[in-house]
Structure 1
């Protein structure tokens, strides 16, 4: 086997390995609280990872057995997949560039508002049909019940670093002025007109603030955090894939040159 074919085979094996973190990122998203309820990004990531794995294996087989059409398929298909992966990275970056928590006086945790997030993310939770499904998923978790076990005193709770979903869904907004009894039970609001969420709060442990915009915003904040973490893995991987692909193109060109030179020598002799 010519040296260039060996190089192509090694490069495609590296591409096979690079598909693993992409698939892993998608699987990781399915285990995260926000993504497990929204279920949007993980499947495109997993599908892209699996396709890259299949194409890289095809290229490896084509290089090992010197099957030219498989190598050409690899070069074309991998280019398309790299472009799609780059587009996905750019998309995730653009829709998560906005979104942050807001500081409230004498509180360690942050408050979240829908207007702080991109329009695309807001549309994930704006539909009542979508939100009813997401709310059912959130209310089935133990994230709010865990707060009652961890914090007994008001000041301990106010000094807690809550997750965005705990801050948005498990308690009323701070600006409403509710009086703390325990993390999921509050009474005597001072200003119910401060925000519509002040009227949405319920001490019913199955309701709490799951209908509040603050809960939707907390979910989006968690979603944004999870997507940005996954995007770091995707960006590093796509840069490595581009480098591997370019080296593979050079090796394929050299292999074609070797074949032409060998045929020329055979014809000359």
Structure 2
């Protein structure tokens, strides 16, 4: 039974080790991009890729070569990762908990109000350096370009994303 469980842990860690390579490659590919949206993802993706790589390597070495300290390191790192994911999830729910779309009567879309979200998130969004990055992402994504070709009937019948709703309101909504 001991050999079977080590084999399973070894194969699972080999699989995660191999899956970290495309994550790191994707982050390096994003580093070549000049777009603001993609460059914002570069550092987190690199960090996640290398953490997965190192934790998987510790688990693989510990399981396949019977290195006890590597298995203990793997166990401790996995515990820290689980706690970190729980904290990030709780933080996300706390920050966005009150927010959500309000259905607009006669329309297919919901309307979102900044006042429905936490004070921390509101203060972050109203800071100019964060807002400028968000606006450049929206403008660079061509999210508003598709709407230009719509007829008035399309606005009434289509399900608009929150960004597309702001595009229909005009450029005033994308300034501070």
User: TM-score scaled to structure 2, two decimals?
Assistant: 0.72
Q: Is the 8 A contact 2:9 2:63 kept in 1?
A: no
Shift of the 161–88 alpha-carbon distance from structure 1 to 2, 3 Å rule, reads same
Cα distance in 1 between the residues matched to 2:109 and 2:4: 56
Asked if 1:171 corresponds to 2:172, the answer is no
Cα distance in 2 between the residues matched to 1:66 and 1:101: 53
Asked if 1:133 corresponds to 2:133, the answer is yes
User: TM-score scaled to structure 1, two decimals?
Assistant: 0.50
Which of 1 and 2 has higher RCO (CA within 8 Å, sep 6+)? 1
Structure-to-structure mapping, 1:105-144, within 5 angstroms: 105-144=105-144
Provide structure 1 residue ranges, at least 5 long, that are not aligned to the other structure: 173-200, 202-206, 213-269
Cα distance in 1 between the residues matched to 2:96 and 2:161: 18
Shift of the 48–16 alpha-carbon distance from structure 1 to 2, 3 Å rule, reads farther
Q: Displacement, 1:142?
A: 1.7
Q: Secondary structure at the match of 2:146?
A: helix
Q: Is the 8 A contact 2:95 2:120 kept in 1?
A: yes
CA RMSD, 1 decimal: 3.3
Cα distance in 1 between the residues matched to 2:79 and 2:13: 12
Cα distance in 2 between the residues matched to 1:37 and 1:121: 22
Provide structure 2 residue ranges, at least 5 long, that are not aligned to the other structure: 31-35
1:40-61 Cα deviation digits (max 9, x unpaired): 7x85576345423421222221
Cα distance in 1 between the residues matched to 2:142 and 2:127: 25
Give the aligned partner of residue 94 of structure 1.
94
Q: Which moved more, 1:86-95 or 1:10-19?
A: 10-19
Asked if 1:209 corresponds to 2:173, the answer is yes
The size of the alignment, in residue pairs, is 164
Cα distance in 1 between the residues matched to 2:63 and 2:104: 61
Cα distance in 2 between the residues matched to 1:54 and 1:37: 24
Cα distance in 1 between the residues matched to 2:56 and 2:38: 32
Shift of the 136–59 alpha-carbon distance from structure 1 to 2, 3 Å rule, reads closer
Q: Displacement, 1:146?
A: 0.6
Q: Is the 8 A contact 2:143 2:164 kept in 1?
A: yes
Shift of the 39–159 alpha-carbon distance from structure 1 to 2, 3 Å rule, reads same
Shift of the 111–132 alpha-carbon distance from structure 1 to 2, 3 Å rule, reads same
Cα distance in 2 between the residues matched to 1:7 and 1:114: 50
Give the aligned partner of residue 160 of structure 1.
158
Give the aligned partner of residue 10 of structure 1.
8
Cα distance in 2 between the residues matched to 1:38 and 1:107: 35
Q: Displacement, 1:165?
A: 0.5
Shift of the 77–133 alpha-carbon distance from structure 1 to 2, 3 Å rule, reads closer
